Amino acid sequence: MPERESGGCYDAAMSKGRMEAFSDGVIAILITIMVLELRMPETEGEATLAALAPVVPKLLTYTLSFIYLGIYWNNHHHMLQAADRVSGGVLWANLHLLFWLSLVPAATGWMGEHHSDSVPAAVYGVVMLMSAIAYTTLQGRIIACQGPHSRLRNAVQGDAKGKISLALYALSIPFAFAHHALSDAIFVGVALIWLVPDRRIEGVLGNHEPV
Amino acid sequence: MPERESGGCYDAAMSKGRMEAFSDGVIAILITIMVLELRMPETEGEATLAALAPVVPKLLTYTLSFIYLGIYWNNHHHMLQAADRVSGGVLWANLHLLFWLSLVPAATGWMGEHHSDSVPAAVYGVVMLMSAIAYTTLQGRIIACQGPHSRLRNAVQGDAKGKISLALYALSIPFAFAHHALSDAIFVGVALIWLVPDRRIEGVLGNHEPV
Amino acid sequence: MPERESGGCYDAAMSKGRMEAFSDGVIAILITIMVLELRMPETEGEATLAALAPVVPKLLTYTLSFIYLGIYWNNHHHMLQAADRVSGGVLWANLHLLFWLSLVPAATGWMGEHHSDSVPAAVYGVVMLMSAIAYTTLQGRIIACQGPHSRLRNAVQGDAKGKISLALYALSIPFAFAHHALSDAIFVGVALIWLVPDRRIEGVLGNHEPV
Amino acid sequence: MPERESGGCYDAAMSKGRMEAFSDGVIAILITIMVLELRMPETEGEATLAALAPVVPKLLTYTLSFIYLGIYWNNHHHMLQAADRVSGGVLWANLHLLFWLSLVPAATGWMGEHHSDSVPAAVYGVVMLMSAIAYTTLQGRIIACQGPHSRLRNAVQGDAKGKISLALYALSIPFAFAHHALSDAIFVGVALIWLVPDRRIEGVLGNHEPV
């Protein structure tokens, strides 16, 4: 009966739905406006295969960021599936995550343009690190809303993947200046770690009726 | 039984849902196309930390506008949660709000580019003032639809925050010409006032089943 | 029991919902990417009020097109509220409407840039005319799906506003070359005719439970 | 009772709904940002009909790609209507499809700009081929989730249209270098094959209650 015990949390199918829809919208737009950085070269005369060469590093960076945003969308989706309650604080933590994700296209474009420079790779690392911190914060706020024995809390117990990612992103920033290839390797490596959807949450969800 | 008493208002879960979805879509797009103004500098040769310097004021202005659009999304969401009925007039008042919000990215980009000039700050103030007026109008139309004892009417009684914001935005316009820093302070100050989600509405909602 | 009598039409809440959501998405994006044409002038030195002068005709054209897209969204919404059945043909007629609407931003930007030339005004008229034809076609396909005594058929009987708009748009094209101001007057005038949401449909809906 | 038998598939109305919403968002954005490539010529002096001439091939390419994205949206919609279960793998196969579709605007802009060159047509063919492969893969993953006697499996049995399209796209790539007009003919021809919504699926759905 007392619908809001812990910090203004409430069972709000609609709030959750609209937060998901808004997040989906923002992520969908981010994923697609990144493409605007891919504009084909404006060559005079015939467009040849050679004209495509400068597009290749941009395309690789675009692919990497597409996968990252896809991972965020996927994990965000699975996390909210396991959540029954939200709060005003959760909505703001979500906007905070979207803020950092919104910087991904600019960072991607810069790194794609200057793929052998240190600063763009470091900036990309900062954006990745802050996004991951924002995601962890959001996860914490959502878990705090669910009460002490929530499915979500059990699902992300320990959260080794999250902690490893945070550490690797933090390392990628100095690495960008020292061994440039190492920071690139980190970005690819962390993406691989997360490409698999969060089996922990899926596993726990499996014992319950689908949400 | 008489479904439409006051000015063509009707109980329309679907109308409300689609108005929310459309507003979410527009706000999500606005928040993300603002990022397009953030494009990293196109430097010749190596991309250095120094190349990032001109991006800093743009990033701060972007952050401010991101927070403003986030506030509008959040308050819009809470306001509609407390509303059960809409009307044709409400749909148009909503579009009117979206019109002024749609000018935020252009005003943001101009202020970020010319952060020490008066006119861009004054233009930003005008867009903020008109958005706030449009929001107040929308709130009035929605309340008029809910009947005399609606939750929403009780929730926003007095509306001190709204009135203070309107007054401060109006002040920001002359201030932009007189003491430039004062108009900046107003923009940051009003954002802080609203960063807290509308506890008035949440408080009243708390006594009812979540919508 | 026979769910599809007339031309592959079916009761499909989900199809209708997804068609609405997709249309809302496209219209929301169109309305917001038009803003990209509004980019403030990139002045060297101080940004003054004088720098805003060339933005004024663009802003007026933008406002006009914003209202037009708002009208389409609003009428589209009311039309689908009154519809219970869709078909594959309806989905394509809807995409056809979205195609012409998608040309509005480009036509708007061109007319805003060259506000005293004939050809951009004529192009704007063509886009408006084709959009209106596409809307009428969509309306016809939807009515055909609803069966002989549908609410929607009663609601739009005669459809004087639709026919007048089509005639005026058609006139705006030669007028753009003859008396430029006349075509502008038509664009403003037709917008005013439609600014009022479709009372005919709202009136008929009023006698039924809200959809 | 055992909700997930085959490869982590589960009955998840919400997962399916959010995947649809996300896909709709991405496709709606792609369809509309393609318009940004259509920017009217920035002529000095009067804007004349002659100024429109270079826009014509861009408009035709835009129309072709608009139809392709419309076909993908439509078929995607019909396919998911017939699906009751999704899985983590389905979500990723869907993102994979969206990745290739996201390259359509860039490929479209390049082909529209260089409509008589071979390489842009070949690139367009590659994007089309990869999108079609991604769609086929997604279809396979979804069918694998539905169990052995699903409506969807029956609906797409044989899948002649899909196989023919794949073959034609593959042919369009060498044809772009040999007989340029042939690859254009393939792109138009395959669009015509698919313009009709998937009657196979609609036919099977007709015997069931609408999903």
Question: Distances from the Cα of C208 to the Cαs of A112, B10, C147, in angstroms?
Answer: 57, 11, 17
Q: Which pLDDT value is given to residue B67?
A: 93
Could you say which of B14, B30, B117 has the minimum Cβ distance to residue C47? Answer: B117
pLDDT-above-90 percentage for chain C: 34
Q: Which pLDDT value is given to residue A199?
A: 56
The model's pTM: 0.84
Tokens of residue A81, six digits:
């599936």
Residue tagged 């919504």 (tokens): D197
- D43 inside domain: no
- State whether D14 and A205 contact (CB < 8 Å): no
More confident residue, C175 or C149: C175
- State whether D39 and C106 contact (CB < 8 Å): yes
Cα–Cα dist B106/C62, whole Å: 13
Question: Among A80-89, C28-37, D126-135, D150-159, whose mean pLDDT is lowest?
Answer: D150-159
- C110 inside domain: yes
- C45 inside domain: no
Could you say which of C24, C195, C210 has the minimum Cβ distance to residue B10? Answer: C210
Could you say which of D25, D39, D40 has the minimum Cβ distance to residue C25? Answer: D25
Closest listed residue to residue D143, CA positions, set D130, D161, D156: D156
> How many domains does chain C fold into?
1
Count CB-CB contacts under 10 A for residue D114. Answer: 21
Measured in angstroms, the CA of D158 and the nearest CA of chain A are apart by 31
Q: Which pLDDT value is given to residue B86?
A: 81
> Averaged over D4-18, what is the pLDDT?
61
C109 interaction partners in chain B (CB closer than 8 Å): none
Q: At what angle do helices C104-113 and C88-102 cross, to 10 degrees?
A: 20
Measured in angstroms, the CA of A2 and the nearest CA of chain B are apart by 9
φ, ψ of residue D86 in degrees (nearest 5): -130, 180
- D48 inside domain: no
The two beta strands, A10-11 and D85-86, are unpaired
- State whether B106 and C35 contact (CB < 8 Å): yes
Structural domain range at position A199: 11-206
Low-confidence residues of chain B, pLDDT below 70?
Answer: 1-14, 39, 41-45, 157-158, 196-211
Residue A72's pLDDT band (cuts 50, 70, 90):
very high
DSSP chain D: -----STT-EE-HHHHHHHHHHHHHHHHHHHHHGGGGG-----SS---GGGGTTHHHHHHHHHHHHHHHHHHHHHHHHHHHT--EE-HHHHHHHHHHHHHHHTHHHHHHHHHHTTT-HHHHHHHHHHHHHHHHHHHHHHHHHHHHT-TT-HHHHHTSS-HHHHHHHHHHHHHHHHHHH-HHHHHHHHHHHHHHHHS--HHHHHHHHTS---
- B3 inside domain: no
B27, B34, B37, B40, best to mutate vs chain A, most A CBs in 10 Å: B40
Residue C13's pLDDT band (cuts 50, 70, 90):
low
- C51 inside domain: no
More confident residue, C127 or A50: C127
- D61 inside domain: yes
- State whether B197 and A120 contact (CB < 8 Å): no
Residue A4's pLDDT band (cuts 50, 70, 90):
very low
Measured in angstroms, the CA of C160 and the nearest CA of chain D are apart by 31
Q: Angle at the Cα of C99 (from D142 to C18), degrees rounded to 5?
A: 35
Under an 8 Å CB criterion, which residues of D touch A? 3-4, 8, 10-15, 18, 21-22, 25-26, 29-30, 33, 36, 88, 91-92, 95, 98-99, 102-103, 105-107, 109-110, 113-114, 117, 119-120, 123
Q: Which pLDDT value is given to residue A197?
A: 53
Tokens of residue B64, six digits:
């401010």
Q: What is the pLDDT of residues C171-189, one digit of tens each?
A: 999 999 988 889 999 999 9
Could you say which of C24, C43, C206 has the minimum Cβ distance to residue B25? Answer: C24
Could you say which of A32, A40, A211 has the minimum Cβ distance to residue D33? Answer: A32
- A43 inside domain: yes
Residue A202's pLDDT band (cuts 50, 70, 90):
low
DSSP C21-53: HHHHHHHHHHHHHGGGGG-----SS---GGGGT
Could you say which of C39, C47, C196 has the minimum Cβ distance to residue B119? Answer: C47
Q: Which pLDDT value is given to residue D198?
A: 53
Under an 8 Å CB criterion, which residues of B touch A? 20-21, 24-25, 27-29, 31-33, 35-36, 38-40, 42-43, 46-49, 51-52, 63, 66, 70, 73-74, 77, 81, 195-197, 202, 205-206, 209-211
Return the SS3 of A146.
Answer: coil
